[in-house]
Amino acid sequence: MKQFRHIRAYYSGWILPIVDFLILWPILLYMKRKTATALELRFLGDKKAIEKDIRHGAFFMTNHRDIVMDAAWLTFLLRTRYFIHPFFGIGNNLFGKWWIEHLVRFLRAFVVIRNGGFRNQVTNATTLSQYIRHLRKHHKSIWLAQREGRAKDGNDITQPGVLKMLTIEAHDFVESIKELNICPVCISYEYDPCDYLKAREMQLKRDNSKWRKSRKDDLVSMAVGIKGHKGRIVYRLTPSINHAIDKALDNHPKLRESSRNEQIQFVCDVVDHQIHSAEEIYDRGEKFDQYIQSRIDIIHLSQKDTDFLREKLYEMYNNPVENHKKALASEC
């Protein structure tokens, strides 16, 4: 474990249950009452089969909606129903204060290092992949988002780089992926409390290609995501992708002989299809137009492009619906 000491979750022993009972659980219960009208765990397909997939540990790969709450709500739901407390990845760019890193590592977070030159990035990716393999070897459950950073436009697409990192030392990509037991999970918020911040960021990037978020921007997004109203929240578990991979290999044996990039893209497509199929579709009613206008009103920009902001806000809510329709149509 020495090679992982700078990224690994701390061995918490008796500390984690105490922190859960005295701090984390009361906070999450309070947040659930204050920011959500409902929080549900649902299933796509055979519930018993999915529960069998996750019984001995699973790699939960989700779409990315919120910096903090995506992993927090999943942990809350899994711990409540199955007494599973997954390890989860968090980027070191989010540690605004020195104590934040130590706190989250006590809560089973491992560090994803996102800075450094190319050589350091390769070394960091290799170490992270080895640590994740170490956890899975011991049947530990893990959460990791399907992409680096949130999907600002609501278009949830798995980044090939995530799968490349996970299999960076693999000789047989297909078998290496199957060893992880990836179970895609779709996170659906009725309302995204950070939607106006995402729209603002998109205009800033459009107007200035050199604009970059500051650490303060990340901290603001974290605070808004934690405290903001989300309406109904649904986490929908889907089966392990191993079933889809085995079926594809039976129908297309040459898949195993295809290039690494083709295999990676195939697995990305499988993860995306299951997440899109599991999307919860909300009927937000006739007042949704008023809601969009209220979000535009609180965006502060010196040269606010109202039409652009409105377009992007509608887009981030419409893209999950369109992806869901395409996923269902592809099954017909």
In tens digits, the chain (332 residues) has pLDDT values of 678 999 999 876 667 777 777 778 888 999 999 999 999 999 999 999 999 989 889 999 999 999 899 999 999 999 889 988 899 999 988 887 778 888 888 888 999 998 877 788 899 999 999 999 999 999 999 999 999 888 899 999 999 999 999 999 999 999 999 999 999 999 999 999 999 999 999 999 999 999 998 888 988 999 999 999 999 999 999 999 999 999 999 998 888 899 999 999 999 999 999 999 999 999 998 899 999 999 999 999 999 999 999 999 999 999 999 999 999 999 75
Residue 226 in contact with residue 39, Cβ under 8 Å? no
What's the chain's Rg over C-alpha atoms?
Answer: 20
Residue 306 in contact with residue 203, Cβ under 8 Å? no
Residue for token digits 């909606």?
65
- Domain spans of the chain, in order of start: 31-331
Give the pTM.
0.94
d(CA 138, CA 105): 18
What fold, for 31-331?
A: Glycerol-3-phosphate (1)-acyltransferase (3.40.1130)
